[in-house]
Structure 1
């Protein structure tokens, strides 16, 4: 995220970080990832931390409103901490605060803070094409994750599209102009041009959901794409655990496995084979969810910023790819 969150300044952050016993030092904004806001923090003792501020109103997959999203995000952070404590050293988990909690609210009720040990390394980019060797490294991590006993706090994943009602409402509201901001009308025009194709893909999603078997539920990361893989020497670490959930393994695998050899490697390591229909289901689910979330953003109040420009470019590309 390039734009800083509204109404969250350094004094607010240092006040929140006191829960971790961190005294004010230096904060440096890190414009990495998309969705959350991040800072590097050096406290007065010279310790290096990675601080994340989540906008709870943008965490619909954690809960339908800010209080519910806070509870869901806290469960996800607790799950990551439990996975790390169980011996999965590739899990970059939040540091518990002095009271043992992995997440603390900011006074505005909209944002929440988590703190992570700083890990020096290089992350990839979403959509980056990985070599077979790199895919293998990530598949080995996923196999280890999927073999791990689920922590008590883990959320349960449902394959349904939580954002579907908003997308269907938008498809039914194309006759009148949209006025949320500069991308509202272009978004309406994009949906008007591709609405029939999107409806076909929604019907395809329903058919896959009815037929895909998938495997028994396991601990899944949810978003193990290259942007969430940190490369540090020969180690590979998984970051961004807010989507961790109990789900079929294909929820993770479709983002990594590209070939029959990849799937065979995973099957050997995990002791289970992937279901092609479930892989297709989750690939389609990701794209439709991206479209729905972007349309909701552009139907609502928004401005022209670097972040909304990125969202618009991604939306246009995804819609055209889905309906080609």
Structure 2
């Protein structure tokens, strides 16, 4: 592995080892698949990975006004992987579907007739997706591994590519960008990498509850007090991140099942994990049908409830509400 411009470059075998050992406080439920469209394969040389990644970060920060590069990882034609935004940060990749997601940008234009994905690139994308699903206990299905094409660009509503959608990750991405193409051509390859079986995603029995960070930056310490040292190599949890709580002590929360990683509970809010039980669940800007529709969820998608009013559940800090009766609490 090599590091430059704040990014780390690795091959897929290195990534598999690295991600399995990485400590991540933020709760991750979804994997997003994208293509860059531009830069495309023509932009790549055997030695310019870091320069291409820095160019994307510069564009995202200077032109889009984002805090950092949008994606967590970028895959390259030779099978290399570069890190991007910290996994503790929510990505800036799919409007309305970034919370609790990890974002993969696959460098290239994979629309029909454009870049032909290399064998090395295919292998990395499949194995990387599998490694992330294994790491975070993500079930390999089209509710959990999603394509950008399935979401309306203006509203964030999941419409499976029927109106106002990008082609991302490409009309020729592993046989196509539709839900059926994903289920027929891509997800079986990911499952096969995981010994042929989808990973179950039960809620671990030793989780006491979930909380959401309500301060800009929350330090993670080695003990349940402010005098304990910050955990080495682990970034602070950030505003809106959902954390798992395994132990409570004197107002402090242990957020790792195996390590002494603690945060001050006074800077968090309790939230409840729930699963959508309706075929399509409308998301509104307030707690009632009189409020505008701002998106939708599909059956099986998971959300975190942060407030409730008169039979409605708030599932996002930016005023997104759904009818409570269409949620099954985990």
- The verdict on a shared fold, with TM-score over 0.5 as the criterion, is no
* Structure having the larger proportion of residues in strand: 2
> Which gives a bigger RCO, structure 1 or 2 (Cα 8 Å, sep 6+)?
1
Whichever structure has more helix as a proportion of its residues is 1
